[in-house]
Chain A
Amino acid sequence: MIVISKIVIGYLILQGALLSLISSIGIIRLPDIYTRNHAASKSATLGIISILLGVFLDFWIVEGYMNARIILGIIFVFCTAPVAGHLISRAAYNTGIPMSEKTVKDDLRAKKKRSVQ
């Protein structure tokens, strides 16, 4: 039982670390702020959640100490990360940061023009 749970805990923490690594690679590789935001707001969220879940299970099963604050931390990260991503990209759009040349379609531009006139 302990051995199986140790394997699961190790998998969770490794998965979280790998996801965080890949999201930082994405922040370097992707062309503009909006696509970078995709990588930052999704992979980092799941990465942090799985690391925290691994820590929680490790303290609970192996050490026999249940820490509810970690669960609260998971819930807070889960609720706030998408909102932060939304706010950053909205602020970027409103201050007129250009999108990469690959961009095909922009429905928001028409609306902004209408409101200026």
Chain B
Amino acid sequence: MAFQILINFVIALTWMFLNNHYSGISFIVGYLIGLFIIFSLRRFFSTRFYMYNVIAVIKLVFIFFKELILSNISVLKVILSPKLNMKPGIFALETELKTDWEISILANLITLTPGTLVIDISDDKKILYIHAMDIEDVEKAKLDIKNTFEKAIQEVSK
């Protein structure tokens, strides 16, 4: 993916040199042309066309913000309710993610999800120990993490 971006930059620079016109606008035009060229020649690269990864990153950022707002609303509900009748607890969650940066992004996302907070990661990086504000909706939180976050992160690193 980084290799494709580098090639795209080189094409944009070449476009600036061909035009003998050095400005931001001409760089952007060259970059768009390079994007088109890379898209047409995508079968020669070992990885997929890199714009898919860029779109996946943007989606991940949106998930981050959505979860931040939702988790704030749920924390507010707990704090401002007249009686504190939640049942906190720690549960284990197995993850399929392999590399370190994927796991740390997943841990950050879980910390920002409603009512969950990562406490520990097992030494073989397979199990996350998560503190939940309310152990009763753990199953739902587990499904959320599995279906939404892990998929979004895998989509980025594909």
Indicate if the CB atoms of A83 and B108 lie closer than 8 Å: yes
How many A-B residue pairs lie within 8 Å, measured between CB atoms? Answer: 105
CB distance from B119 to the nearest CB of A (A): 5
Q: Decide if B72 touches A34 in the complex (CB within 8 Å).
A: no
B57 cross-chain contacts in A, Cβ below 8 A: none
- In A72-115, the 8 Å CB interface with B consists of 78-79, 82-83, 85-86, 89-90, 93, 99-100, 102-109, 111
Q: What is the distance, in angstroms, from A99's C-beta to the closest C-beta of chain B?
A: 7
Chain A residues with CB under 8 Å of B88's CB are 32, 34-35, 99-100, 102-104
Q: Does more than half of chain A's interface fall in helix, strand or loop, or is it mixed?
A: helix
CB atoms of B72 and A86 under 8 A apart: no
Within 8 A of A (CB), among B58-114: 64, 68-69, 71-72, 75-76, 78-80, 84, 86-92, 107-108, 111-112
Known: A29-B84, A105-B90. 15 other contacts (CB 8 A): A22-B76, A22-B80, A23-B79, A32-B88, A34-B131, A35-B86, A38-B115, A39-B75, A42-B72, A43-B79, A46-B68, A46-B72, A103-B89, A104-B89, A109-B90
The 25 sampled A-B contact pairs (Cβ below 8 Å) are A19-B76, A22-B79, A29-B84, A34-B117, A38-B115, A41-B111, A42-B68, A42-B71, A42-B72, A42-B75, A43-B72, A43-B79, A78-B64, A83-B108, A85-B117, A86-B111, A86-B118, A90-B120, A102-B88, A104-B87, A106-B89, A106-B90, A108-B90, A108-B119, A108-B129
